[in-house]
Amino acid sequence: MATALTGRGLAFIRATPNLFPSRFPWVAAPQQLSCLHTSALLEAPRWEQKNRKVYPPQLPGEPRRPAEIYHCKRQFKYSKDKLWYLATMVKGLSIDEAIAQLEFNDKKGAKFMKEVLLEAQDMAVKNHNVEYKSNLYVAESTSGKGKYLKRIRYHGRGMFGIMDKVYCHYFVKLVEGPPPAKTERTSFDAAKDYVDELKRRTIIHSL
Amino acid sequence: MFTVASFVQSLRTSLQLIENRLLQAAGLERQLAPALAAHGPSVLPQLNNGQETEEEVEGPCQSPGLLDGILWMAAPKKRRTIEVNRTRRRSESKLIKLKTNIEPCPECGHLKQKHILCGFCYAKVCRETAKIRNQIKEVEGGPFRAPTVETVVLYEGETANSQDKDKRIIERPRKRPSWFNV
């Protein structure tokens, strides 16, 4: 058996991360992964597996860590660009408000999103020890590109184009607690930040 | 030398012909004399005959000439970058605005818009009216048999009023719903 796991075999096993899904509880990373490209969210770890993350027990003096619930809907027939508008509309709202807004929106994606939010709310109460189902807010909400089907679109003069039948994913993260207060970022703030960034620069290898 | 000059001449004549035809189509200029008469005798006799007899002079660069002509279609000069596209697609006007006219229905507690009937209550009423219509269908027993008098729906334990004497009575075997007033 040991001779089989050599060279190419090991590389193959390492290349496919989902071959042996780990059942061990994950240790929480102390520093947050900032500056991640959005596509990295979908490769590894997958959105569904983020729910299995287990934090070490909290110390007595620490403030209570709010519950996080990750949910998604994969590969449904809608455009990721059109879903993006709905996803950004819902970002930062409390779950009741989000569901209300989606109920009265005429877009096709609103129906899918409302299902996902209701399911996530249900999951939160049943599996993630959330006491009040209204005490949740949408922390993250994004759309992703699904696997497209390709079809031929016939034009005149024997020309053809390849048509994409679009599919998309929807990802949502609910966090327990009241929604955070929205700070209005004015143009003055943006200018101030830009100037501070310019002042923070250091020129390396200089005198 | 000779062939190059003739080639250039044929190009020039073809472009002029195209422009004249375009101007004619646009209706902006009146018909000019044929452009061939203006050019000198440096053209070979074969080409000259060909141009005089044939209406359609196919210059070698005719189709791109159409696009570069003065009065022809607008076309993008450069590819729009993804940054430019994003700022246009994500501008404030294109984002979906939140609705402020959502409130709970006082009757059933479901959400409704202020100027629109509650969907749940409307569905409830629809179901009851469908049952009343089925009852009417049974009473009439066929198409085109609606009476000329009014119809009154009576529920369990109700009798016809003095006002409802001349009206057709439809009985529904259930308690009167709270929202259906007399």
pLDDT in tens, A115-166: 999 999 999 999 999 999 999 999 999 999 999 999 999 999 999 999 999 9
Phi-psi region at A157: left, alpha or beta (left = phi > 0; alpha = psi -120 to 50): left
From chain A, the residues in CB contact with B89 under 8 A are 81
Are A110 and A102 in contact, with CB atoms under 8 Å apart?
Answer: yes
Burial A76-88 (b: 16+ CB within 10 A, else e): bebebeebbbbbe
Name the residue with higher pLDDT: A16 or A145. A145
Please give the Cα distance from A199 to A152 (Å, whole number). Answer: 54
Task: Please check the confidence at residue B70 and state whether its pLDDT lies above 90.
Answer: no
* Spatial distance between the Cα atoms of B63 and B92, rounded to a whole number of angstroms: 42
What are residue B152's phi and psi, to 5 degrees?
Answer: -125, 135
CB within 8 Å: B102 and A104: yes
CA atoms within 13 A on the CB side of A109: 26
- Supply the Cα-derived Rg of chain B in whole angstroms: 41
Residue-wise pLDDT tens digits, B71-125: 789 999 999 999 999 999 999 999 999 999 999 999 999 999 999 999 999 999 9
Nearest to A89 among B89, B96, B113 (CB): B96
Kindly determine whether residue A86 and residue B96, on different chains, have CB atoms separated by under 8 Å: yes
Beta partners for residue A144, in sequence order: A169
3 state SS of B8: helix
Only one residue has tokens 């997958």, namely A46
Which two three-digit tokens encode residue B59?
Answer: 């210059």
Task: Decide if B99 and A104 are in contact by the 8 Å CB cutoff.
Answer: yes
Cα gap A29→A53, rounded to integer Å: 10
Is B95–A88 a contact, with Cβ atoms under 8 angstroms apart?
Answer: yes
For residue A140, list its beta bridge partners: A173
CB atoms within 10 A of CB A163: 13
CB contact under 8 A, B94 and A100: no
Q: Which of A201, A86, A30, A149 is nearest to B94 (CA)?
A: A86
Residues of A within 8 A of B119 (CB-CB) are none
Measured between beta carbons, the chain B residues lying within 8 angstroms of A85 are 94-96
Complex ipTM over 0.85: no
